Amino acid sequence: MPDATTFACPDLTTFTRLDDLGLEATGQLLKPDRAVLKCRVVDPDDWCRRCGCQGVARDTVVRRLAHEPFGWRPTTLLVTVRRYRCSECGHVWRQDTTAAAEPRAKISRGGLAWALVGIVVQHLSMARVAEGLGVAWHTANDAVLAEGHRLLIDDPARLDGVEVLGVDEHCWRHTRRGDKFITVIIDLTPVRDGTGPARLLDMVEGRSKKAFKTWLDEREQTWRDGVQVVAMDGFSGFKTATTEELPEAVSVMDPFYADVPVMPMSWVSVLVGDVRRMVRSA
Ligand SMILES: [Zn+2]
């Protein structure tokens, strides 16, 4: 662990977290409204995947990735990727960039992580996230939903031990025929227990009572029985769904809810603390 009082040399690569992506910054182009970082892939990756012989660098291609914004300035990565040709078998390949982004993705892993935190924790709209990344709305929407699901699918045990559920609705997009909503379901158990941050459990389309009710319906009865508290945002449909599906759970909307129709999710830790005291003294 570096000493908190020891300053390292200023370094664009670590400052923009490119080292986590297996990249190194080699140049910067700063404009008032955007930044472009030229990077290279650190690992040479020059051994043939077919026969194991060393390849010869042939040429380079540039991969363009939207990265997390710094100071709200959209930051684009132009990654120079080497192409090699095997001197033995003639196989041609390019440097592996999967640490930086999913294959064919247009947004870096850092950019996606920023987007997910922005939506789930900071309550940013998808339009704001797309603006921060400097990409089209659909590009951001598809990538963020896919990343959310990739993280969820990679963790089959995510539903284990959930006792405190958080349900939060997000206006996903304004359309001519009305707004589209996404319901975000998070595990607040670690927050209540003081063991860690909230965990994203699921994202389901819609804001209606049906969206959350359907999600609860899909869970095992034993799992539903384990849920003690449901914290939620300002939509009465959620409360009805909870009462029907989880009659034993404590509804935590009152007394806060009566006075605060829309409760920001950032208040949840405070609220959960209050509920804990409430439950203890009951
Ligand atoms: Zn080869």
Query: Does any domain span residue 2?
Result: no
For residues 11 and 30, give the distance between their C-alpha atoms in angstroms, rounded to a whole number.
Answer: 16
Same domain, 73 and 128: yes
> What's the total number of domains in the chain?
2
Q: Is 147 helix (H, G, I), strand (E, B) or coil?
A: helix
Q: Is the pLDDT of residue 109 over 90?
A: yes
| Cα of 190 from ligand 1 centre, angstroms | 49
Burial of 190 (0-12, 13-18, 19+ CB in 10 A): middle
The answer to whether residues 21 and 139 belong to one domain is: yes
Ligand 1 center to 141 CA (angstroms)? 39
From ligand 1's centre to the CA of 24, what distance in Å? 27
Given 103, 132, 149, the domain boundary residue is: 149
**Ligand 1 centroid from CA 135, angstroms:** 38
pLDDT digits (tens, 9 = 90+) for 157-181: 888 888 878 787 777 777 777 777 8
- Please report whether residue 6 resides in a domain: no
- Same domain (yes/no): 258, 170: yes
Shared domain for 188 and 276, answered yes or no, is: yes
Joined together, the tokens standing for residue 107 give 């947004």
Q: Which domain holds residue 204?
A: 157-281
Q: Is 115 domain-assigned?
A: yes
Pair 200, 255 in one domain: yes
- Kindly give the distance from the C-alpha atom of residue 81 to the centroid of ligand 1, in angstroms, as a whole number: 19
Round to whole Å and give the CA distance between 111 and 119: 12
**Residue 174: strand pairing partners:** 179
| 145 CA to centre of ligand 1 in angstroms | 38
Distance CA 251, CA 248 (A): 9
Spatial separation of the C-alpha atoms in residues 226 and 10, rounded to whole Å: 49
66 plus 169 within the same structural domain: no
For residue 55, report the distance from its CA to the centre of ligand 1, in Å: 7
Q: Is residue 260 part of a domain?
A: yes
Q: Is residue 7 part of a domain?
A: no
What pLDDT, in 10s, does the model give residues 6-52? Answer: 899 999 999 999 999 999 999 999 999 999 999 999 999 999 999 99
Tell me the pLDDT tens digit for each residue of 209-222: 678 888 888 888 88
- Separation of CA 57 and ligand 1 centre (Å): 13
Cβ–Cβ under 8 Å, residues 190 and 165: no
Residues 120 and 144 sit within 8 Å (Cβ to Cβ): no
Section 99-111 average pLDDT: 94
Q: Bigger pLDDT: 281 or 183? A: 183
Task: Kindly state whether residue 4 falls inside one of the protein's structural domains.
Answer: no
Residues 109, 225 within the same domain: no
Q: If you measure from the C-alpha of residue 103 to the centroid of ligand 1, how many angstroms do you get, rounded to a whole number?
A: 22
* Residue where one domain finishes, among candidates 149, 178, 213: 149
Which CATH number fits the domain that encloses residue 238? 3.30.420
CA of 76 to the centre of ligand 1 (A): 34
Which distant-in-sequence residues (6+ apart) come within 8 Å of 33 by Cβ?
A: 73, 74
In terms of domains, do 194 and 275 share one?
yes
Residue 95 CB contacts under 8 Å (≥ 6 apart), including other chains: 41, 43, 44, 45, 81, 82, 83, 84
Domain boundary among 129, 149, 169: 149
Closest C-alpha to 128, from 69, 78, 186, 77: 69
Mean pLDDT of the 231-245 span: 62
**Separation of CA 91 and ligand 1 centre (Å):** 5
Tokens for 168? Answer: 């939060």
Give residue 9 CA to ligand 1 midpoint distance, Å.
41
What is the pLDDT of the chain when averaged over all its residues?
80
Task: Rounding to the nearest 10 degrees, give the CA dihedral for residues 261, 262, 266, 269.
Answer: 40
**Within-domain flag for 141:** yes
pTM above 0.75, yes or no: no
**CA–centroid distance, residue 45 to ligand 1 (Å):** 13
Q: From ligand 1's centre to the CA of 223, what distance in Å?
A: 52
The band of 237, judged by pLDDT with boundaries at 50, 70 and 90, is low
Give dist(CA 196, CA 202) in Å, integer: 18
Residues 25, 138 share a domain? yes
Give the E-state strand segments of the chain in sequence order.
23-30, 35-41, 55-70, 73-86, 92-94, 164-175, 178-187, 199-205, 229-232, 250-251
Percentage, residues of the chain above pLDDT 90: 42
Establish if 131 belongs to a structural domain: yes
Same domain, yes or no: 185 and 218: yes
User: 76 with 58: CB under 8 angstroms?
Assistant: no
The answer to whether residues 148 and 200 touch, using CB atoms and an 8 Å cutoff, is: yes
Note whether 269 and 249 are same-domain residues.
yes
Q: How far apart are CA 219 and CA 228, in angstroms?
A: 15
Determine the Cα–Cα distance for residues 41 and 171; give it in Å rounded to an integer.
38
> 257 and 194 in one domain?
yes
